[in-house]
Amino acid sequence: MIGRRRQVALVLTAVLATAAACANLERQHSSRNVAPAPGATPARGFTLVATGSIVPQDSVVDRASYDAAGIGYDFRPMLSGAGPAVRGADLALCHLDAVYATVVGRRASSSAHVPPQIAQDLVATGYDGCATASDHALDDGAPGIRLTLDAMDEAGLRHAGTARTEDEARYLTVYQAGPARIAHLSYTFGTGGHPLPAGQPWAVSLIDPKRVIGDARAARRSGADVVVVSVHWGTEGQDAPDPAQLDLARRLTAATTGGRPDIDLILGTHAHVPQPYEKVNGTWVVYGLGDQIAGERADGRGTRDPRRTQSTLGRFTFAAPARPGGRWQVTRAEFVPQMYDVDAGRVVDVNRAIADGADLAGVRDRIRDVVLSRGAAADGLVMAE
């Protein structure tokens, strides 16, 4: 990415549907796995950070307008609490659970619409790209996807999960983090009742286990060292992963080629509350990151639900394989409890706030208990201080 010290994002035009294109890309990138000379310094690893959904309801957009003194919108103050952790990573990914407004100030009945300026502010915060496949991706139809991806391209914010053209839907979104190439794939369980645009079945990537695994294998053949899959799944408001999540996680992490897993990390969204992390078949799965930015919400009985403004930041440190062609291993897995302070309109690093005297121990403990509820601590997951 232009102006970014730590990594440059690429989009490789690798056509997933054809083995010929994959073979061509294999030839182009074959030199990356040349064995180091005896005594050479091993390739360094990299750190990936991922955060929860951005769900910009009216109150969120109004706050950004206020922070811009009424002249446009400024989301940077809102995101500043996440900045240190995001900028400290080699690769930082977010999830956009909305589309940008085709008419400024207009809201679709079924979804919040966010001003396109947030793309620039996400880049300023340190993000490199976002997953865009969600049940709100078609709230404004194909024009909403087009405007959203246009704005992200203009800001230099990469994206995966939605597409403006059939060719774009076949591209791989690949990032360079240190010596590693990381492919990012994104899928959703559905489109919120909105039909796919006529003649554009590729506009939003839908979850299909065979397709996800096929895409991951194509990404690997195209030169990706690490494959990260974002999935929009699960049951809203439920702390525990549902049976469909558990089944899909097992199927995806069990897929291997030549003894090497096809997928290296799974990042989940949609439940709108933090869900557990778990190592499944040797691969880390985040069932639900929660909502990093979201307005105040109520549960099914109309009672305010504070969980829906809580989230985690996942941080995974990958080490290079000892031999060319081996798996990049996660050597450290961490999570940071976060919350969105609705009154202040700010993302809060809960541990830092507690250190500064905030009475948030209960929030921290609840998030920690949920995240660790499926035994992730035994596999090395720790809460970052």
Per the CB < 8 A criterion, the answer to whether 205 and 161 are in contact is: yes
Between CA 338 and CA 306 the distance in angstroms is 12
Q: Model confidence over 27-42: pLDDT tens digits?
A: 223 222 333 344 444 5
Query: What average pLDDT score do residues 179-195 get?
Result: 97
Alpha-carbon distance values, 311 to 92, 170, 336 (Å): 16, 31, 9
DSSP structure string for 120-188: HHHHHHT--EEE--STTTTTTHHHHHHHHHHHHHHHT-EEESB-SSHHHHH-EEEEEETTEEEEEEEEE
Judged against a pLDDT cut of 70, whether residue 17 lies above it is answered with no
Q: Model confidence over 290-322: pLDDT tens digits?
A: 999 998 766 666 678 899 999 999 999 999 999
Between CA 27 and CA 40 the distance in angstroms is 24
Between CA 240 and CA 82 the distance in angstroms is 25
Domain map of the chain by residue range? Answer: 7-30+42-383
Q: Model confidence over 320-370: pLDDT tens digits?
A: 999 888 999 999 999 999 999 999 999 999 999 999 999 999 999 999 999
pLDDT of amino acid 111: 54
Q: Judging by beta carbons within 10 Å of its beta carbon (0-12, 13-18, 19+), is residue 321 exposed, middle or buried?
A: middle
pLDDT of amino acid 307: 94
For the structural domain made of 7-30+42-383, what CATH number should be given?
Answer: 3.60.21.10
Per the CB < 8 A criterion, the answer to whether 185 and 232 are in contact is: no
